[in-house]
Amino acid sequence: MTSHLDKRSARRRTLGMMFAAAVAGALPGAAMAQGAKVVRIGYQKYGTLTLLKGRGTLEKRLAAKGVTVKWTEFPAGPVLLEGLNVGSIDFGTVGEAPPIFAQAAGANLVYVGNEPPSPSSEAIVVPKGSAIRTVADLKGKKIALNKGSNVHYLLVRALEKAGIDYKDVQTVFLPPADARASFERGAVDAWVIWDPFLAAAEKQLGARVLADGKGLVSNHQFYLAARPYAEAQPEIIRIVIEELAKVDEWGRRNIKEVTAILAAQTGLESSIVELAAQRYSYGVKAVTPEVIGEQQKIADVFASLKLIPKPIVVKDAQLAFKL
């Protein structure tokens, strides 16, 4: 009989081969990307980039410059930044923690923008019938999360506030789909997750929010680019940011339309997408010294917990010029 571990190992090998194939197919296009014939964008199953993809406005604007847009979906921020680092994409969006892990691993990336704080868009949840009532009750419990994602820092801060050492919980590192499966069958006691997976857990599973990010984390969404691409093609990056700003402004005033587009793009139920869209913060901005300072605090915490291999200076990943 094939064991659960065997199945997971096989799945990892399959995903690894798929990723390698994607990279192999994308790398020959790197030279073309540097020539501004294409901008390759990595996105996740939610957020302004997904909305921009659904509206198609970026393609129209860049077509006038002879530039095409190639979209690639990723299941989470850490994998997206792996793609950025190896050259399979030029631009993407992630939460707070992934760029810190990526920078510590030597990724040549730069911050080019961020969305406003959205602390209620991520949370620690427990099953609806769970006896766990407070974060302090998580001591000794199994908690699923995506390693290196934005929710990693939420867990650290929530435990800290509750007076629980990080080492006193059992972290189970799983991507969202596997984490949900483990959560549903009771293999873990809690799950730390972001929207729209959070909204889906609430709507479909009756998951109860133990703590969200309010009062604990900012939960910025960051836009990052491969440094060589950003330095070679600042105009293309500037256009992407401008189009994101337009979509943000439109989205803030049209939640119903946002819901319809994101539901079509993600395949999720409208009620789930609407809940997530209502919690999202719209309004892309330039990355300020204050935001970089917040990122530095996160990096310092991760370094102290030995979650990253070495301390980093986050401002080293800022662009040397304004877009």
> 173 and 225 share a domain?
no
Tabulate helix, strand, coil % of the chain (nearest 5).
55, 15, 30
Q: What is the pLDDT of residue 261?
A: 87
25 lies in a domain?
no
pLDDT band for 31, please (50, 70, 90 cuts).
very low
Q: To 10 degrees, what angle do helices 4-26 and 77-86 make?
A: 40
3 lies in a domain?
no
What letter represents residue 117's amino acid? Answer: P
134 lies in a domain?
yes
Q: What is the pLDDT of residues 266-300, one digit of tens each?
A: 888 999 999 998 898 889 999 999 999 999 999 99
Q: Which residues contact 178 (CB under 8 A, 6 or more apart)?
A: 8
Q: What is the pLDDT of residue 24?
A: 39
Q: What is the pTM of this model?
A: 0.82
> 109 and 244 share a domain?
yes
Can you list the positions of beta strands (E) in the chain? 38-43, 68-73, 91-94, 109-114, 122-126, 142-145, 170-173, 190-194, 208-212, 222-226
Question: Alpha-carbon dihedral of residues 189, 192, 196, 201, nearest 10 degrees?
Answer: 10
> 252 and 197 share a domain?
no
> 244 and 258 share a domain?
yes
Q: What is the pLDDT of residues 55-112, one digit of tens each?
A: 999 999 999 999 999 999 998 899 999 999 999 999 999 999 999 999 999 999 999 9
> 48 and 179 share a domain?
no
11 lies in a domain?
no
90 lies in a domain?
yes
> 256 and 190 share a domain?
no
Q: What is the pLDDT of residue 281?
A: 86
> 158 and 177 share a domain?
yes
pLDDT band for 9, please (50, 70, 90 cuts).
very low
> 146 and 109 share a domain?
no
**pLDDT (average), residues 106-127:** 96
Q: What is the pLDDT of residue 45?
A: 81
Of 212, 234, 267, which residue sits at a domain end? Answer: 212
- CA gap 16, 120 in Å, rounded: 33
Q: What's the mean pLDDT when you consider all of the chain? A: 88
Q: What is the pLDDT of residue 35?
A: 53
Domain CATH code at residue 129? 3.40.190.10
Is pLDDT above 80 for 36? no
Query: What is the SS3 assignment for 8?
Result: helix
322 lies in a domain?
no
CB neighbourhood size of 275 (10 A): 18
- Reading across the β-sheet that carries 122-126, which strands appear in turn? 170-173, 142-145, 190-194, 122-126, 208-212
What letter represents residue 152's amino acid? Answer: H
> 113 and 225 share a domain?
yes
Q: Measured in Å, how far apart are the chain's first and last C-alpha atoms?
A: 57
| Parent domain of 187 | 122-212
Of 212, 231, 263, which residue sits at a domain end? Answer: 212
> 229 and 105 share a domain?
yes
Q: What is the pLDDT of residue 323?
A: 67
1 lies in a domain?
no
Q: Please confirm whether the linkage preceding 99 is cis (ω < 30° from 0).
A: no
> 236 and 112 share a domain?
yes
Q: What is the pLDDT of residues 311-320, one digit of tens each?
A: 999 999 998 7
**pLDDT (average), residues 174-181:** 95
Q: How many domains does one find in the chain?
A: 2
Of the candidates 186, 98, 190, the one whose C-alpha atom is nearest the C-alpha of residue 144 is 190
Q: What is the pLDDT of residues 124-167, one digit of tens each?
A: 999 999 999 999 999 999 999 999 888 999 999 999 999 999 99
> 42 and 103 share a domain?
yes
21 lies in a domain?
no
Q: What is the pLDDT of residues 38-60, one digit of tens each?
A: 999 999 888 899 889 989 999 99
Strands 222-226 and 91-94: antiparallel
Strands 38-43 and 91-94: parallel
Of 195, 212, 229, which residue sits at a domain end? Answer: 212
What letter represents residue 220's amino acid? Answer: H
